Amino acid sequence: ISSEYIDVIKYINNNDFDGFIAFFTWLKKEPKIINKQPHQTLLTDLKNKYSIPFQQTNLLNLVEFKNEITMQLNIYGVEKESILNLSIMSRKNYKEDIIINDFEITDNIMTITIPKDKINAKEAGIYNCIIVYDGFKHLNIKYGYDKKVALKDKNAMFYPTING
């Protein structure tokens, strides 16, 4: 069980369903404050009643070359040894996912190169770029602007969603 749900387990064990609902209401809808601790950074509410580990990835650089795209990401709150890959996940067909296992991490900056032919070989659609860590956990990459990429027979664009 992910460490962010430890409090939820306590609510369940104590039959505190109001606490259970309040936690998920805060998690999904309420504002969060970044609270730096000596060995961990947390997202909390204003009164520090709820907390979860702070983990985030931001795109720092997206560079297009002739045959590849290089992404550089700032990763925070995730141990680099636990990172498995970058998954470019199709929203319609998991068989169209692109998994990039080859990457470098230096000073919390992850550099990944994606061959354009891997993207060009996939069916047209919408794909999410996600860091996979700890075996199964997903970390969405926050991104602030549109970037068009030239492919052989498709148009491609990296763009932010409503949540970045």
Strand order in the sheet with 33-36: 33-36, 41-44, 51-53
Task: Please work out, in degrees rounded to the nearest 5, the angle formed at the alpha carbon of residue 114 by the alpha carbons of 112 and 119.
Answer: 150
| pLDDT band at residue 100 using 50, 70 and 90 as cut-offs | very high
Q: Is it the case that residue 154 has pLDDT exceeding 80?
A: no
Pick the CATH number of 56-158 from 3.40.50, 2.60.40, 3.30.70, 1.20.5: 2.60.40
Give the E-state strand segments of 3-40 in sequence order: 33-36
Instruction: Give pairs for 55-58: CB < 8 Å, separation 24+.
Output: 55/139, 56/139, 56/142, 57/110, 57/131, 57/139, 57/140, 57/141, 57/142, 58/141, 58/142, 58/143
Q: Average pLDDT, stretch 138-152? A: 86
Q: Where are the alpha helices (DSSP H) in 30-154?
A: 116-120
Considering the entire predicted model, what is its pTM?
Answer: 0.81
Segment among 14-28, 86-100, 149-163 with least mean pLDDT: 149-163
For the chain, give every residue range classified as CATH 2.60.40: 56-158
pLDDT value of position 69 = 94
Segment among 18-27, 43-52, 144-153 with least mean pLDDT: 144-153
